Structure 1
Amino acid sequence: MPAQGAAPLAVVAAALRREREHAGLSRAELAHRAGIAESTLAQLEAGSGDPGVEALGSLATTLGVPLSRLVEPPTPAVHVVRAGHGPRVRSEHADFTGTLLSAGSAGARRDIYLIRLEPGAVRTADAHTPGSVEHVVVAAGSLRAGPEWGPAELGPGDYAVFPGDAPHRYEALAPGTFAVLVLEHP
């Protein structure tokens, strides 16, 4: 994770321990179910390591919680995220960064991200929790986004909605592409 604007490792560590204990899972069981090494999970819970969005996404899915619950610190009543700041998660496989703008409350069950992508490797995502839906609005550049079986090409101002509970992808088609992503959770 980048240092500036990244989710502090202490926030991620505390959230992972809290959610794992809430789920009643041992560290070994969570690591096994999420498909990551137990030593990696131990490092993350200790506040060290460099978690990518894939590992955090796998842990969140296994725990049955939105990714935002693992990276967002508690917020005050009025919450402002300045441009270039906010908890960020990066892809390990593509030039893709998601900045969490707002995590849904228990009643809202949605997260809002500002995503930045550059042409090159495709950001592929495993299925999120069943019933998840992704909404994306392109602000600049162009991208191909959607389920593996039928992504759509989008330009500035274009909006798409697709199932988040199926494998999906984000691919920048132009330099400097960024978009707003709203992830709904059931």
Structure 2
Amino acid sequence: MERTVAQQEQVSAKVPLESIATALRRERARAGLSLSEVARRAGVSKSTLSHLEAGNGNPSLETLWALCVTLDVPFSRLLDPPRPHTQVIRAGEGAAVAAAGSDYRATLLAASPPGARRDVYRIDAGPGTVRASDPHMPGVVEHVLLASGRALVGVTGEAVELRPGDYVAYPADLPHVFEALAPDTRAVLVLEHP
């Protein structure tokens, strides 16, 4: 599924750059690491990290995940939206971040409140590319419920094919994949942190 320039700009506009910038500065200070050290450990350039901390740029999902692993924080901490008593996120809305090498977008639906350790995402993916994920922090488990389409999901080399209504849970501290096998594949992904 090829996105038009307008669609790419729409996805890019939804990335909450100021929230990401504030969170990166806060978490880097909490970890007591320099800009150079975080960039080195995450495998990103110092200028990229500097731009992100200034609220500029268009970070990929891979860059943000690498920074989260380096800073030892859940991904949701970068996108944490305000928590009203009742929260509705309509299809196509929410803080979405796109992957660089595949037609894959993650939209944060609910961040883990203090004391709880889970984050909920809506996944929108198209066929043609595989979203290969590096291992997350030790003990992280992913739960996926497929809403539409078809997908191969799970630990690399052991992924299972899901159809609408199917659910899978797997250790996400191992390399894992999400490969859409049909257009308009959508899923709910829950990250469970130890």
Compute the TM-score of the two structures, normalised by the length of structure 1: 0.96
Determine helix, strand or coil for the equivalent of 2:64: helix
1:120: which partner in 2?
128
Residue 157 of structure 2 aligns to a residue in which SS? coil
Matched, 1:48 2:71: no
| Equivalent residue for 2:138, pick from 126, 130, 135 | 130
Aligned to 2:3: none
Once residues 14 and 57 of structure 2 are traced to their aligned partners in structure 1, the CA distance between those partners, rounded to angstroms, is 13
Distance 2:53 2:92 in 1: 26
Q: TM-score, normalised by structure 2?
A: 0.92
Q: CA deviation at 1:3?
A: 4.1
Q: Which of 165, 171, 180 is equivalent to 1:172?
A: 180
Gaps (5+ residues) in structure 1?
none
Query: Does the aligned pair in 1 maintain the 2:123–2:187 contact within 8 Å?
Result: yes
Write the distance in 1 (CA, Å) between the matches of 2:186 and 2:57: 27
Aligned-CA RMSD value: 1.3
Q: CA deviation at 1:81?
A: 1.5
Answer yes or no: is the 8 Å Cα contact 1:131–1:164 preserved in 2.
yes
1:147 aligns with 2:179: no
The 5 A counterparts of 1:1-186 are 2-3=9-10, 6-186=14-194
Contact persistence 1:2–1:88 (CA under 8 A): no
Q: How many residue pairs end up in the alignment?
A: 186
Contact 1:115 1:181 in 2 (8 A): yes
* Counterpart contact for 1:141–1:174, Cα < 8 Å: yes
Give distance in 2, aligned partners of 1:167 and 1:61: 14
Q: CA offsets per residue over residues 127-172 of structure 1, 9 Å max, x none?
A: 1110000000000000001111311100000000001111111000
CA deviation string 1:104-128 (max 9, x = no partner): 1232211000001100110011111
User: AA paired with 2:62?
Assistant: E
1:55-87 Cα deviation digits (max 9, x unpaired)? 000001111111110122333333221221111
1:83-107 CA-to-partner distances (Å, cap 9, x unmatched) read 2111101110100011110011232
Query: Which amino acid in the other structure matches residue 132 of structure 2?
Result: T
Name the structure where helix makes up a greater proportion of residues: 2
- Gaps spanning 5+ residues in structure 2: where? 1-7
